Amino acid sequence: MDKIPILRMGHFLLVTIQTDLYDRLAMSLEADLVQMVSKTNAKGVLIDISAQSIVDSFMGRIIGNIASMCKILDAETVVVGMQPAVAITLIELGLELKGVHTALNVEKGMELLQTKIILPTEDTSDDDDYSA
């Protein structure tokens, strides 16, 4: 089965969806991504959908799910690069993706994540410093 690659960039994860999504593929992305966030302790997730010519209610829901799940795992999600036609269609369909951050492109998405996240300081140890 096809798989959508997840790239690790420091404290962030980047997913670029290049193929046409069908439901099972989207669902496995959701599972993989949440696993990965937890495993890598990522603080931010960027989902680049600029290559997607359509996003329907199912995919929209998966994106919303990913954002909510990551939030619980203490990571922010930004969806970047949505095409104008896709945005217009989603609004008409009735899906606003509330609770999901958006940005025009990966670069701006990074900037947004950086403002949203207080990155762990140059601490060599991996675990969070509650006591301090």
Q: What are the residues binding another protein (CB under 8 A)?
A: 20, 22-24, 53-58, 61, 78-97, 101-105, 108-109
- Residue 92 sits at φ, ψ, to 5 deg, of -65, -40
What is the nearest approach in angstroms of another protein to the Cβ of residue 128? 30
Please say which residue, 31 or 128, places its beta carbon nearer to another protein. Answer: 31
Please say which residue, 36 or 95, places its beta carbon nearer to another protein. Answer: 95
- Residue 125: exposed, middle, or buried by beta-carbon count in 10 A (0-12, 13-18, 19+)? exposed
What is the nearest approach in angstroms of another protein to the Cβ of residue 4? 15
What is the nearest approach in angstroms of another protein to the Cβ of residue 127? 33
- Backbone angle region of 100, left / alpha / beta, with phi > 0 → left and psi within -120 to 50 → alpha: beta
What is the nearest approach in angstroms of another protein to the Cβ of residue 74? 22
Strand partners, 37: none
Please say which residue, 32 or 56, places its beta carbon nearer to another protein. Answer: 56
Q: Are 42 and 36 in contact (CB under 8 A)?
A: yes
